[in-house]
Structure 1
Amino acid sequence: MKVYELKHNDSSMELNTLDWDHELASDFNGEAKAKIWTPTKVKTLYKKKYSDFPRLIIGKPIMKGNVKKVFEAHISREVELLPLIHDELELYVVNITNVLDCVDWNRSDVRRYSDGDWAGFNKLVFDFSKIPSDTYMFKIKETALVKVYVTDLFKTIVEKQKFKGLNFSIVYDSEFTQEKEDEQQRLYNIALEEIDRNKGEESSYDNARRLVDQGEAMASGPWKMQLDQQGQFWLGELLKDLSYQWIMPAYIPPVLLLKSWHKVARSEI
């Protein structure tokens, strides 16, 4: 089994709510809302390319009507599909009520407050024996307010139906044992050492950005920036599987402005 964090790609339509006092703006922590729900209006902020899974900026999953029709029979016991109002589209917010106790606390790297209470995950590992094999969507209680997870059953339907707008790059694999994790980390460290060992003249961020505009690719540790063939700027981060995860950033994280950058080979984006 594989589990993915439900995330949107940069080409998904973006929506906002019009009524901040409505239940849509409340916490979605796994509790049912259907009995108190009334449809509320949302508006398009940015139309973009894909509308199958619009991104609501306050963080709740949204499905278009045709997507709901495909998924409803599969996920009805795990979610509530609550209607929204939109000027052009039939939309539903997905309230995930399937909250599982499936964290592998022995392998997960946990941040804790001084009193010992849970504060967050540096690394999350699932105990897949606690995730039923017919699961499509779920939350865990520790992150129920902010994260939704889906399985390969969900992903398979998305791909079969050619629905667009989701990013399945954050993956958790039941076959990814501790031994495989250690080996992946070893290879990742080697890749970072190779990047550092082969760096030539270093530049400040501002100089590096000018070189990027001239067609160069620049790297600093796991970070890389370059233009695509259309001249658009992309920022990439080297993942543990040695691929780059690329985004078109709305802003540059301040920590990257202080790093030294050097020329590297361009990537295919």
Structure 2
Amino acid sequence: MKIWRVDKNVDDYSGFYLKNEDDKNILEEKLDKGDLVSNWNELEVEVHEADKPIGDCPHLWSGGYSLIVSERGKEIISNNYKNYIQFLSLNYSQENQKFYVLNNLNIIDCVDYNKSELEILMNKYIVDVKKYVFNENAKKAPIFKIYLDGVIKISTFVNNDFKNLIEDSGLEGFKFTEVFDFEA
């Protein structure tokens, strides 16, 4: 089994930006903490680089690292992994398309600190991971974010099953980078 970091293909697909820059604070405060968001007002987004197709996983240029998915992406992912994520609607007014920001509910402690290559500041603060080694907790999670020394990190990780679902479904705009192989 492999673990992959999910990103967006910004070279071939356009993305969005928040119409109201202050909405970035809402994303940072509410998302990817492992909690359901109960009080959500749609954030308004506009297309960036309109000469490119949008795809099913557009980048949110002004909103940091949140994953955005299309209506089709939401349906495919939620049919298989609804217990791990929450989809919060965005206000995108063009072309009758609907997009959602993905709220990752699955935050796990799964980094093997002894075997991973860590960048440590002042001999005590882990600031980055140069090479990931995951423990068995990562095998149980199809999609997750990690605790790194008690702090939730921004990257989203998935297993082979999640990656294969995206690729086999023909969803476009996702980019996967292998970060760990349990069999290597």
* 2:27 partner SS: helix
Matches of 1:6 and 1:80, distance apart in 2: 17
**Larger helix percent:** 1
**TM-score normalised to the size of structure 1?**
0.60
- Any unmatched runs of 5+ in structure 2? none
Alignment of 1:146-225 (within 5 A): 146-176=154-184
* 1:54 partner SS: coil
Q: 1:25 to 1:80 in 2, by over 3 A?
A: same
Shift of 1:169: 3.1
Query: What is the aligned partner in structure 1 of residue 102 from structure 2?
Result: 94
**TM-score normalised to the size of structure 2?**
0.85
- For the pair shown, the structure with the greater C-alpha radius of gyration is 1
Matches of 2:137 and 2:28, distance apart in 1: 31
Amino acid at match of 2:44: K
Q: Is the 8 A contact 2:92 2:99 kept in 1?
A: yes
Q: Is the 8 A contact 2:118 2:126 kept in 1?
A: yes
Query: What is the aligned partner in structure 2 of residue 63 from structure 1?
Result: 69
Alignment of 1:126-141 (within 5 A): 126-127=134-135, 129-133=136-140, 135-141=141-147
Amino acid at match of 2:13: S
- Any unmatched runs of 5+ in structure 1? 177-269
Q: Percent identity?
A: 24
Matches of 1:25 and 1:131, distance apart in 2: 24
Query: What is the aligned partner in structure 2 of residue 53 from structure 1?
Result: 57
Shift of 1:121: 1.5
Query: What is the aligned partner in structure 1 of residue 39 from structure 2?
Result: 36
Higher RCO by CA contacts (8 Å cutoff, separation 6 or greater): 2
Aligned length: 174
Alignment RMSD: 1.9
**Larger strand percent:** 2
* 1:84 partner SS: strand
Q: Is the 8 A contact 1:29 1:145 kept in 2?
A: no
Residues 1-60 of structure 1 show CA distances to partners (whole Å, capped at 9, x for unaligned) of 111100122212211111233323546342425212111111101131342111111221
Query: What is the aligned partner in structure 1 of residue 5 from structure 2?
Result: 5
